[in-house]
Homo-oligomer: A and B are copies of this chain.
Amino acid sequence: MKKPLILVSNDDGITARGIRTLVEVMAEIGEVIVVAPDSPQSGMGHAITIGNTLRLSEADIFEGITAYKCSGTPADCVKLAKHYVLKDRKPDLVVSGINHGSNTSISVLYSGTMSAAIEGAIEGMPAIGFSLCDYSSNANFDHTRDYVKKIAEQVLKTSLPKGVALNVNFPPKRNEKVKGIKICRQARAKWQEEFDQRFDPNGRRYFWLAGNFVNFDKGEDNDEWAIANNFISVVPCQFDMTAHHSISILNDEWEIMNS
């Protein structure tokens, strides 16, 4: 049987521990091509590079694996991989991560990890973003390996509904074993921002974005609940942002429709 072609990207940059774990696991199940940012791109959301040039060069980082580093965003990486690096070959799977830090709940919008996966879905490829809810650069990814492999193999086997990418989050390594996988919805939560105001040596004001995550969601079917209860959360995500249920409401309420 022909090995599946797997495209790997991330947002922490090509030298991060998380992408190394992902590359190692993917190499056990397919032919791996890596196209990843040459520097950290956390918080880049679905940014793309349009007012600037992009650089791409081969990176001799993973033994026996063809890899490229790119000056752009995670979404740029997937676009370049698809249209330039791979050209006539279409990946059977796009995976992104493993992110150093949570991408549950509202963080999916800000997440470079998930933008690479969503970009894969837009291009019609099954795609998964993996994140570990542990922000440290030397986080322990050992407990994710078996599940990353199982989930990737499952998606290769049964594929995904059209236009859907998976947002997979792992609880941090705890003493207790992970309880299993939960298919979830995105929790209703947000970042409660605070801006840390400081002054530079010239007396000019600047800010650091800071803040706390606030979970408003009382349900047990969402990704925040899953992580808090030591489950792996899997949220199917779509790039159709239409609030379909609101169309009829607006058509009904708006008096300006025929003006």
Contacts and interface: CB of A to CB of B under 8 A. Distances in A.
Interface string A44-85: 111111110111100000000000000000011001101110
Chain A: interface secondary structure? mixed
Contacts of A244: 185
A47 B47 contact: yes
Interface residues of A, number: 82
A244 to B, nearest CB: 6
Contacts of A79: 193, 195, 209
B207 A236 contact: no
B237 A242 contact: yes
Nearest to A50: B43
A259 B178 CA distance: 11
Interface in A135-156: 150-151, 154
Contacts of A195: 54, 79-80, 83-84
Given A122-B190, A256-B150, A209 B242 contact: no
B243 A110 contact: no
Interface stretch (A15-23, A88-96, A245-253): A245-253
A170 B130 CA distance: 38
A163 B47 CA distance: 22
A102 to B, nearest CB: 13
Assembly of this chain: how many copies?
Answer: 2
A258 interface: yes
Nearest to A239: B109
A245 B80 CA distance: 31
A36 to B, nearest CB: 16
A176 interface: no
A47 B45 contact: yes
B53 A43 contact: no
A241 B44 contact: no
Interface in A193-228: 193-195, 197-198, 204-209
A187 to B, nearest CB: 10
A118 interface: yes
Contact of A110 (B48, B106, B151, B186): B48
24 contacts: A43-B47, A44-B45, A46-B46, A46-B47, A46-B109, A54-B207, A54-B208, A55-B205, A79-B193, A84-B197, A106-B122, A109-B239, A163-B243, A181-B254, A181-B257, A184-B247, A185-B247, A186-B241, A235-B241, A236-B243, A236-B246, A236-B250, A238-B242, A239-B241
